[in-house]
Structure 1
């Protein structure tokens, strides 16, 4: 707990002054009583003054106690304020720490998003290349299919020619068989 030293010194000095005033008041009252006895014939004036001085000393003591109570209350209030400020400082430090951690997490997320974007770009590029290869394969298959169809057509044509030649050969053999020697 932090105690304001100037307030303690002030309270200590006020208590000291009160004690001195009380002692002086008591001494004055004693002197006045003694004097009062000696000068009893002067009347009760001195006794009244002595009572007034005693009353003044009591009031001074009560005022000093009231000041001491106020100072104690002020010290308690200051201690409470210091405690609240320390708590606020700790909470501010914790909030700053959390904000720093959140910033780091957001930075990590941004880096992950950047990596994902890079991967997506690579995948898109690879997909584009694969699409081009598939298109080339499709063109080649179409060309092969066209060539196969043309070959089939030629084979049919050759088959037709072959049948025709076979027929011609059979007819030629028949015709040459008539000429036997």
Structure 2
């Protein structure tokens, strides 16, 4: 009987140790699961925030793209205006050359008229009315 009691006691201690180990393992598993859950929630929050930031970045890129299009359009308009100004300057230059030639011709004609007027005055001076 003593042998049986001793084996029973040893088995009881062994079972108690197993139960203690199982309880300890269960507690560690529960703690680990809680930590993992916390990390998963933090990770999910980070993913949501990253998505929000990516959306903000996409909006910023779209805004920059729109502004680039506006700048390109304005540059093209300025180029067209510059070409028109260049044509107008060339036209003005041509007109200035024409006006200058006309003024020179007018000066030549004026000198000729002055010479003719002087000549006529000399001729008129020969005729005296008595």
Q: Find out whether 1:117 has 2:68 as its counterpart.
A: no
Question: Following superposition of structure 1 onto structure 2, how do residues 5-84 of structure 1 map, counting pairs within 5 Å?
Answer: 53-84=1-32
Partner of 2:112: 164
Gaps of 5+ in 2: none
Per the normalisation by structure 2, the TM-score is 0.92
User: Size of the alignment, in residue pairs?
Assistant: 129
- Which protein, 1 or 2, shows the higher relative CO under an 8 Å CA cutoff with sep ≥ 6? 1
* Distance in 2 of aligned mates of 1:137 and 1:180: 64
What's 2:77 paired with?
A: 129
Distance in 2 of aligned mates of 1:160 and 1:73: 127
What TM-score do the two structures reach when normalised by structure 1? 0.67
Structure 1 vs Structure 2 CA RMSD = 1.2
Shift of 1:161: 0.6
For 1:58 and 1:90, the matched residues in 2 are separated by: 47
**2: distance between equivalents of 1:154 and 1:180?**
39
What 5-or-longer segments of structure 1 have no aligned partner?
1-52
How far apart are the structure 1 equivalents of 2:128 and 2:39? Answer: 127
Larger Rg, first or second structure (1 or 2): 1
Matched, 1:101 2:68: no
